[in-house]
Structure formats: structure tokens, C-alpha cells
A = this chain, B = another copy of it.
Amino acid sequence: MLLQGTVVADAETVVEDGAVVVEGDEIVAVGDREELVETYSGHERAEYDLLAPGVVGGHVHSVQSLGRGIADDTALLDWLFDYVLPMESSLDAEGMRVAAELGYLELLESGVTTAIDHLSVRHADEAFEAAGELGVRARMGKVLMDTESPDGLLEDTREGLDETERLIRKYHGTHGGRIQYAVTPRFAVSCTEECLRGSRELADEYDGVRIHTHASENRDEVETVEERTGRRNIHWLDEVGLTGEDVVLAHCIWTDESEREVLAETGTHVTYCPSSNMKLASGIAPIVDYVDRGINVALGNDGPPCNNTLDPFTEMRQASLLQKVEHLDPTTTPAQLVFEMATENGARAAGFENVGRLRPGWKADVVGLTTDVTRAVPLHDVFSHLVFSAHGDDVEFTMVNGDVVYEDGELRTGDAEAIRQRAREYELPISAE
């Protein structure tokens, strides 16, 4: 396939009047449109105003999609214990399937091609099947919770790790490597030391399996871990093996100097979720400092109960604006840096090689966007446009691993209207009232 348009190949490279040529699951050429049209004259063609690497959702809870709007404007502990955890606990296999499909639909139609996806304790198979079918690239895993967890989610340590191992064997590396496993302890508060160490063992045992968890999102969380272990949260995670180049920690808001040194030294990836951090009033992550230290920062939307939309462009905008006001510095966290976080940094955190840029030999994860919308007029700078003005609704085309998954307003890998309808009809046992 030969895709034509202004090519935003990565955070530094723009090819006006360019093209991207895809064969199989790979990009084989990026360059001048005229030359490529001549060289690859036999390829099917399509044209979009802008072509960009697919966005990476660096921390997502697809299976919380049915909880969109159920607990807005509520205190954090009520939010978690009265709404979100009961919702997760209550979902049967069908609910989990519906929720995951709804989440992946929203991601794919708004330009997210890769997700680092935090599932729930039970029915993870449903999400793996949905991701495989709908075509998102995913680093995903079942959640482990073996202490301090509500009934319905609390699980025996060994059973949780065994189930994780079953899922690794069944799904890791499937769909041409598009689906990869992340061992996913929920956070240090709800996991025993045995569970956390067991997570590391599994990640080491299986080639390419990585680790994804929440860390230091909330001040109470950090205090609880310190009371229980005598250590700051990141030090505790480091001690039990949950730092390193194969680990993604979501949030990392409440970290001190020594913890940040650990993150930098170990090459641990951090996912910044600005809208979620704002809406849950968690705090503002020290992203400028992380970037200065060379820590790899990805961007994430978190889940619909704490953000309400999974639109990655809303999140890019928020990522920059929140740092600017925090530092009272309008020059910080500029558009190109945010674009990098949302694409190649995210892919690095997710552990997918050759993903996150448009260049020959890299995986064909491509989005096509229209600029024929008022918010794109005038268009002085593509990075500024993508980060500060664009919206997921501008996405007209999404390709993952060489497959067209969304085109002309239609999901090509499933029935979007049927997914939405099943989600509307699924009755959650808890309500927003």
C-alpha cells in the first residue's frame, strides 16, 4: 500500500508532499511522493492530509470502559472502593469482552495503535481475544491482587501467578508478535512481596515478557507502602525486582530524589497520565525532571472512569499544558517532545522494537488524519497542530502491523455499532446514582 500526504515521520522529521510505502507488516519506504509513486507504481494508493506514526497509549485500562462517567467528582477512595473495583469485580466474561472491545474501538478510531493495557483479575482471556481480533498492538496482562483487595478481586498468590503463566503461554507473542504479555501486579499496596517477586520471576523466565504496574500515584499509597515495608515505594519496587528496562511504572507522581535516581539508573519507563492525575487530583508528576534525567517518559490516558475519553490528542495537549502551568514556564514540554512521548517513547516503554516512527524497516503502524477542519486552519506547524489542536475525530485511517483496522469512519475488524450497542445494553451492577 502506498499512503500519500504530509509525512510526520517522527518528532523531528516532516516530509511535505511525501509518501509511506507498506508491504506486509513493514514500512519499506518513506520519502518524496512523486518518486515513490513511480517506484511503487503497482501499489494500492490512499491519500490523507497528514500521515503519522500510530500513537502509543502508555497506560490504559481498556476493561474499565463500561465505567465511563460512573464516579465523576467523587473522592478518591470512594471512586476506587465504591465504584471502580466493584465494577471490575462484577464484570462477567461477557462484560469483560464488551468493555475491552469498547476500549479498543475507541483507541483505534482515535489513532492509538499500541496500548499498554492493564486488565483485571478475572476473564483476561476475553481482552486478549478482543485485542487479537480488533487488531490493536498490545502489551497486556491480567492483574494480580493478593492482599488488601476487595472480595471478588482478592486472589491466592500462587493461583494468580499460575494464571499469569497460563496466559503467557497462550497469548504472548501471538498475532505475529502484535500481542505481548506484561505481568501486571496492580500496585504495591495490593500485592504481597511473594507476588511482586513472583512477577519478576515470570518476566525473567519468558523471553520478551515485561512488567507493568502503578507506582506512587497517590500520597496515601506511598505512605501505606512505607509503613508496611519501611521503604519508599520505588525503593521497595526496586528491591523486589520491579524496576528495570522491562518495567513500566504508571504515574510516579510522589517520588523523592533518591527514587528518581533509581528510576534513571535502572532504565525504568514512566507513563505520564496528566488528565487522570488531574481528574483524580492525584498531583502533578515531575515530568520535566524525569526528562532531564533521561528517564523514558510515555503518555497514557488511563481509563474512562478517571479520564472519560481515550483520545490520545487530548492527552498530548494536556501533557504539555499541565507542565507549563506547574513550572510557570510556557516553553517547557514543547509539542515535539510530547509527540515523541506519545509515539516512540511509548513504543520503547511497551517493548516493541521498530515501532513508533515511520521509517523503512519499521512496523507499519500508521495513522492518516484530515486537516480539513476549522481547528486546523491556519496550520503553521504540524507538531503544534497535532499536540495542541488536533482531536481523535480527525483520524480517518489507522493501520496496525500493516493491516488496515479503521478507514472512512468504519472499523474494519469488527462492527463498531454492535460493540457500542452491547456496551449500552450491558447492565453494570453498580450505578452512578
Q: Are B328 and A420 in contact (CB under 8 A)?
A: no
B381 touches A325 (CB 8 A): no
The CA-CA distance from A321 to B307 in the complex, in Å, is: 10
For the complex, give the distance between the alpha carbons of A60 and B372 in Å: 23
Query: Inside 8 A of A423's CB, which chain B residues have their CB?
Result: 377-378
A378 to B432, CA, bound (A): 11
Stretch at the interface among A40-48, A74-82, A239-247: A74-82
Residues in A71-92 with C-beta less than 8 Å from chain B: 72-76, 79
Chain B residues with Cβ below 8 Å from A281 are 324-325, 327-330, 332
Indicate if the CB atoms of B389 and A324 lie closer than 8 Å.
Answer: no
Min Cβ gap A431→B in Å is 7
Q: Is A362 an interface residue (CB 8 A)?
A: no
Q: Considering the complex, give the chain B residue whose CB is closest to the CB of A432.
A: B380
Say if the beta carbon of A280 comes within 8 Å of chain B: yes
In angstroms, Cα B330 to Cα A79, docked, is 9
**Closest chain B residue to A76 by CB distance?**
B330
B69 and A384 within 8 A (CB): yes
Q: Tell me the complex Cα distance, A426–B380, Å.
A: 12
Which of A69, A72, A378 has the largest count of B CB atoms less than 10 A from its CB? Answer: A378
Contact A109 B374 (CB under 8 A): yes
CB neighbours (8 Å) of A293 from chain B are: none
Q: Check A278–B322 contact: CB distance below 8 A.
A: yes
**Contact between B283 and A328, CB atoms less than 8 A apart:** yes
Residues of B within 8 A of A62 (CB): none
Q: CA–CA, A416 to B73, complex, Å?
A: 38
Pairwise interchain contact B72-A334, C-beta atoms closer than 8 A:
yes
* A105 lies within 8 A of chain B by Cβ: yes
Shortest beta-carbon distance from A41 to chain B in Å: 31
Query: What is the interface residue range for chain A against chain B?
Result: 35 or more
> Please, which residues of chain B bring their CB within 8 A of the CB of A66?
378
Contact assessment for A389 and B420 in the assembled complex, using a CB-CB cutoff below 8 Å: no
- Provided the pairs A321-B278, A328-B281, A374-B106 are in contact, do residues A388 and B75 lie with their beta carbons within 8 angstroms? no
Q: Does A204 contact B (CB under 8 A)?
A: no
A295 interfacial by beta-carbon distance below 8 Å: no
B331 touches A73 (CB 8 A): yes
- What's the minimum C-beta distance from A329 to chain B, rounded to whole angstroms? 5
A102 contacts B374, C-beta separation under 8 Å: yes
Chain B neighbourhood of A378, CB < 8 A: 66, 68-69, 423-424, 426, 428
A379 to B420, CA, bound (A): 11
What is the CA–CA distance of A388 and B68 in the complex, to the nearest angstrom?
Answer: 10
* A137 located at the interface, meaning its Cβ lies under 8 Å from any Cβ of chain B in the complex: no
Interface flag for A175 (CB, 8 Å): no
Q: Which residues of B contact A385 (CB under 8 A)?
A: 69, 308
Min CB gap A175→B, angstroms: 23
Which residues between 308 and 335 of chain A lie within 8 Å of chain B, taking CB atoms?
308-311, 314, 317-318, 320-322, 324-325, 327-332, 334-335
Q: In the docked arrangement, what's the CA distance between A283 and B327, Å?
A: 9
13 example contacts (A-B, Cβ-Cβ < 8 A) are as follows A68-B378, A68-B380, A73-B331, A73-B335, A74-B331, A75-B330, A75-B331, A102-B377, A106-B375, A283-B325, A284-B325, A372-B420, A380-B432
Interface residues of A (CB under 8 A from B): 66, 68-70, 72-76, 79, 102, 105-106, 109, 275, 277-284, 307-311, 314, 317-318, 320-322, 324-325, 327-332, 334-335, 372, 374-375, 377-381, 384-385, 388-389, 391, 393, 416, 420, 423-424, 426, 428, 431-432
Q: What 8 new A-B contacts, CB under 8 Å, besides A73-B331, A281-B332?
A: A73-B330, A106-B374, A278-B324, A279-B320, A282-B328, A310-B375, A378-B423, A384-B432
